[in-house]
Structure 1
Amino acid sequence: MSVARSERRPRGELSRVLVVDDEPDIRELIDLTLSRMGLAAACAGSVAEARQALADGEFHLCLTDMRLPDGDGLEVVRYIAEHHAQTPVAVITAYGSTENAVAALKAGAFDYLAKPVGLEQLRALVKSALRVPGSQQQGNHPLQSLTGESAAMQQARSMIERLARSQAPIYISGESGSGKELAARLIHARSAQASGPFVPVNCGAIPENLMESEFFGHRKGAFTGAESDHEGFFQAASGGTLFLDEVADLPLAMQVKLLRAIQEKKVRKVGVATEEPVDVRIICATHRNLRDCVDKGNFRQDLYYRLNVIELRMPALRERVEDIPALVAAILKKLCGETVPQVSAAALQALAAYPFPGNVRELENILERATALCSGTTIEVDDLHLAPDEMGGENPGRGSETLDDYLNRLERQAILEALQKTDGNRTAAARLLGVTFRSLRYRLERLGIE
């Protein structure tokens, strides 16, 4: 069978979209919508016809159904990824078929739509897809914000370049201070949403009773204290990226609502009966092991699979010691401008031997303190104020403890001291420690403190 060309295809140099669906009504609906957007459409009803169309000409976007007479949409996704890497492809799935959507995103799909196809969502997807920068463009603008040439950092930068072209939800793992938010900002800056807002949210810092309102917004009078209409994080991030930091701290009730918002791409404000569509790319991060949280029942498995479509791991600083001199130079330039102090070889050696439990963030703090305390123009070992038992070799303070065990012991000690100072008042202890009550409650459970 030959590929059916749109009879309404406009003349001129227009963006071309390949529509692959075996249902004539769906093809007609999408074709008409694209035509009204000033786009040229070509329609195919099978995997074979789609391949033929791709062989005949160049397309700027492909929309494919998952269920086709001679195969499935994943075949089209993989074929385009292999032979037409600069063409973004989105899949159309049956309502509720999230497994298919996740499989397509992992195979390289840019985004997905659920049937019945909503025209507003279709138009938003098409606009986003046609803004996606191509591979050649990306290659001309190497990422410079992630300092270091270690193998771990080169791999992270390469992954960020690939992830920027996708709409797939991304889970960034890594220890505190390893640069998870920076990675999220770089993905956003290289993505089709770059012109939209980047909205970072610390999920552990929001009171549980205000979470739904903060995420989805509320209408005036929806509850006591709601004196005016309020836009939530999803509305604020419209057309851009919503970065959910410390997502493991979300309570289970909020996890259910977040899952629905991601699946349906719609949110409902508190006090409003109807839902509104949202065009938001989700990136999440946590320093905790999210898989362990699922196994312990603290995090929903279905939400885990929706968020962890693609994982980006940010390496700890101790895993890329060779990057420390370059990081030191970059941080000192940021701190001191043109009058950058020298760093002695002994000081650099001491930094290389230090385990950095706080990663790059801790290195910044150490250097900021050192620039303030050094008496001359050169930072020496003593100016760093590193703990002697942390500078290489067997650690008499930790013995054979792993770093996690060591940090857990310090955390337990700090919490017990705070509880003692507040006579066991957890709310006051949380305030003293500078964490939320819910965060303290979780830490008490994790550390087994009664």
Structure 2
Amino acid sequence: MKNRILVVDDETDFLDSVRRGLITSGFKGIQTESDPQQALAEVENGTPYEVALIDITMPGIDGVQLLEAIKNRQPQIECIMVTALDEARTAVNCLKKGAYDYLVKPVSKEDLISSIQRALERKRLLDILNIGKIKSIPELKNATAFAPITTNNEQMTRILRIAELHAASNAPVLITGETGTGKELLSQAIHAASDRGHRQFTAINMDAITESLFDAEFFGHTKGAYTGAEKDRTGYLESTHQGTLFLDEIGNLAPTLQGKLLRVLQSGEFIKIGTNTSRKVDLRIIAATNKELEKMMATGRFRKDLYYRLSGSWLHLPPLRERMDDVPLLTGCFLKEFNGPDGAEVEDAVMEALMAYDYPGNIRELKSIVRSALSLAQGKPININCLPGHVRQRAKKYVQQAQNQPVPTLAELEKDHILKIYDMQDNNKAESARVLGIGINTLRRKLKAYGVK
């Protein structure tokens, strides 16, 4: 797990023990400090720790003082206090000052790991909530993993940042969205950004899994297990051990097979056909669907318990028509993909037509349109006649609709602009007036006229 963990204790034996325990449990980025002053200096210098494990009784700065200092400098760090004295008053005081947990020595490895994992999960959830609130979206820490996903759209950028936070967890992820929005591409990015990124990624089209194939495909079989089993077969579960299993089109899985899948997800165990031995498997599950699973659950076509098991984390990809600012960028990328690094020359009318189309097939359809247009252009600039007829027709309708639209009045434009700025400033009248360059009393009068309290 790629988490930065700071451990502060003046007992070097305890530091060594904790370090070994965390490393054997898969944690990385562990920093141990026997000097609380040095630990504080690192926090003040901005070292981005996620969890701090702090002994309470230390010379110089005690643990409670260090806790307060850390929360003042980097409040997002989750702090776990450790002490040899089981005192309720001290524990309550630490929790009031922002500590996440309070552990009493000797601390078992299981209790320590459990506390750190819960602290990391809490931090991850808080980070996800904060991304939805803040205007400035933090940059991706693992941009390489998400590089195959092309976007400049603010909504998509937020989704990718949230996806990166989900990647740090082992919780299942459910990705929803229309066909062609890039659900498998996002699942691959989550896998690449996770600790399992160097392991197997297996994508399975659940729509193609029939009842007769399920056991053999997922569990595997031994030679002679049944008629036609001429050799041993390794199933998806075994071959993807410690990796990521991507269940595409999960909404199309037959109801009779949903129970089998659920049992594996609950127990983490399966039995290979032809054997009686249960095998343990460690998998990260990412599922995707273009179906409305909530409606399917209401009609009994999708199991509720399976849904809750799959949707530990949830991401929804918007259709391309809701991120049209990405159309020129995606078009340029596809042209380079099909025609080399220089791309191809495109007439203005072509881009206008592409921006006027609504893409029921989403990014996949845009890619197909660009490939077709490039073939028809035969090395010449792509013109409007290189586009499919339905795209050209939609562009004509869009132009006609735009021509028939009434021109807004100056007062209407002013109203729209003022309300937009007011919303962007979180309804702060003083700040909105400053941005608009008008007096606050003038702003109050206009808002009152617009019916805004």
| Same fold by TM-score greater than 0.5 | yes
| Correspondence 1:215 to 2:215 | no
Pairing partner for 1:206 from 209, 222, 234: 209
Asked whether the 8 Å contact 2:357–2:394 carries over to 1, the reply is yes
Residues 320 and 109 of structure 1: is their aligned pair in 2 closer, same or farther, counting only changes over 3 Å? closer
Q: Deviations over 1:261-298 (max 9, x none)?
A: 11111122123222111111000001111111111211
When Rg is computed on C-alpha atoms for both structures, the one with the higher figure is 2
Aligned equivalent of 1:327: 330
Q: Secondary structure at the match of 2:221?
A: coil
1:159-198 equivalences under 5 Å are 159-198=162-201
Read off the aligned partner of 1:373 and give its amino acid letter: L
Read off the aligned partner of 2:259 and give its amino acid letter: V
Instruction: State the alpha-carbon separation in 2 of the partners of residues 311 and 338 from structure 1.
Output: 36
Question: Identity, % of aligned pairs?
Answer: 34
Residues 267 and 161 of structure 1: is their aligned pair in 2 closer, same or farther, counting only changes over 3 Å? same
Asked whether the 8 Å contact 1:200–1:243 carries over to 2, the reply is yes
The alpha-carbon deviation at position 359 of structure 1 amounts to 0.6
Q: Deviations over 1:27-76 (max 9, x none)?
A: xxxxxx879xxx999xxxxxxxx8867977999999xxxxxx999xxx9x
Residues 105 and 207 of structure 1: is their aligned pair in 2 closer, same or farther, counting only changes over 3 Å? farther
Asked whether the 8 Å contact 2:297–2:303 carries over to 1, the reply is yes
Read off the aligned partner of 2:380 and give its amino acid letter: T
Aligned equivalent of 1:288: 291
The alpha-carbon deviation at position 365 of structure 1 amounts to 0.7
| Correspondence 1:391 to 2:395 | yes
Asked whether the 8 Å contact 1:91–1:109 carries over to 2, the reply is no
Asked whether the 8 Å contact 2:79–2:99 carries over to 1, the reply is no
Asked whether the 8 Å contact 1:176–1:359 carries over to 2, the reply is yes
The alpha-carbon deviation at position 105 of structure 1 amounts to 9.6
Read off the aligned partner of 2:394 and give its amino acid letter: E
Q: Secondary structure at the match of 1:215?
A: helix
TM-score (structure 2 length as normaliser) = 0.61
Aligned equivalent of 2:370: 367
1:204-243 equivalences under 5 Å are 204-243=207-246
Q: Secondary structure at the match of 2:286?
A: strand
Instruction: State the alpha-carbon separation in 1 of the partners of residues 17 and 140 from structure 2.
Output: 24
Aligned equivalent of 1:264: 267
Larger displacement relative to structure 2 (312-321 or 250-259): 250-259
Aligned equivalent of 1:245: 248
The alpha-carbon deviation at position 245 of structure 1 amounts to 0.2
Q: Deviations over 1:201-257 (max 9, x none)?
A: 000112321112211212222222112221111111112100000011111222112
Residues 104 and 272 of structure 1: is their aligned pair in 2 closer, same or farther, counting only changes over 3 Å? farther
Instruction: State the alpha-carbon separation in 2 of the partners of residues 214 and 259 from structure 1.
Output: 16
Instruction: State the alpha-carbon separation in 2 of the partners of residues 273 and 322 from structure 1.
Output: 56
Pairing partner for 2:146 from 139, 143, 146: 143
Structure 2 residues without counterparts, runs of 5 or longer: 1-7, 33-52, 57-62, 71-76, 81-86, 102-111, 126-137, 401-453
Read off the aligned partner of 2:336 and give its amino acid letter: K
The alpha-carbon deviation at position 394 of structure 1 amounts to 7.6
Asked whether the 8 Å contact 1:169–1:310 carries over to 2, the reply is yes
Residues 281 and 348 of structure 1: is their aligned pair in 2 closer, same or farther, counting only changes over 3 Å? same
Pairing partner for 2:353 from 345, 350, 355: 350
Instruction: State the alpha-carbon separation in 2 of the partners of residues 340 and 236 from structure 1.
Output: 39
The alpha-carbon deviation at position 143 of structure 1 amounts to 3.2
Flag the structure with higher helix content: 2
Instruction: State the alpha-carbon separation in 1 of the partners of residues 258 and 145 from structure 2.
Output: 36
The alpha-carbon deviation at position 11 of structure 1 amounts to 4.3
Asked whether the 8 Å contact 2:9–2:54 carries over to 1, the reply is no
Read off the aligned partner of 2:179 and give its amino acid letter: S
Asked whether the 8 Å contact 1:173–1:313 carries over to 2, the reply is yes
Aligned equivalent of 2:385: 382
The alpha-carbon deviation at position 355 of structure 1 amounts to 0.9
Residue correspondences, number: 319
Aligned equivalent of 2:42: none
Q: Secondary structure at the match of 2:247?
A: strand
Asked whether the 8 Å contact 1:180–1:314 carries over to 2, the reply is yes
Pairing partner for 1:318 from 301, 318, 321: 321
Instruction: State the alpha-carbon separation in 2 of the partners of residues 327 and 136 from structure 1.
Output: 20
1:365-444 equivalences under 5 Å are 365-387=368-390, 388-391=392-395, 393=397
Q: Secondary structure at the match of 1:187?
A: helix
TM-score (structure 1 length as normaliser) = 0.61
Aligned equivalent of 1:46: none
Pairing partner for 2:257 from 254, 257, 271: 254
Read off the aligned partner of 1:230 and give its amino acid letter: R
Asked whether the 8 Å contact 1:108–1:166 carries over to 2, the reply is no
Aligned equivalent of 1:427: none
Instruction: State the alpha-carbon separation in 1 of the partners of residues 113 and 289 from structure 2.
Output: 28
Residues 80 and 148 of structure 1: is their aligned pair in 2 closer, same or farther, counting only changes over 3 Å? farther
Q: Secondary structure at the match of 1:211?
A: helix
Read off the aligned partner of 1:197 and give its amino acid letter: Q
Instruction: State the alpha-carbon separation in 2 of the partners of residues 4 and 257 from structure 1.
Output: 48
Asked whether the 8 Å contact 2:151–2:329 carries over to 1, the reply is yes
Residues 52 and 365 of structure 1: is their aligned pair in 2 closer, same or farther, counting only changes over 3 Å? same
Instruction: State the alpha-carbon separation in 1 of the partners of residues 265 and 317 from structure 2.
Output: 24
Structure 1 residues without counterparts, runs of 5 or longer: 19-32, 42-49, 63-68, 82-88, 93-100, 111-134, 397-450
Instruction: State the alpha-carbon separation in 2 of the partners of residues 217 and 246 from structure 1.
Output: 21
Instruction: State the alpha-carbon separation in 2 of the partners of residues 137 and 318 from structure 1.
Output: 25
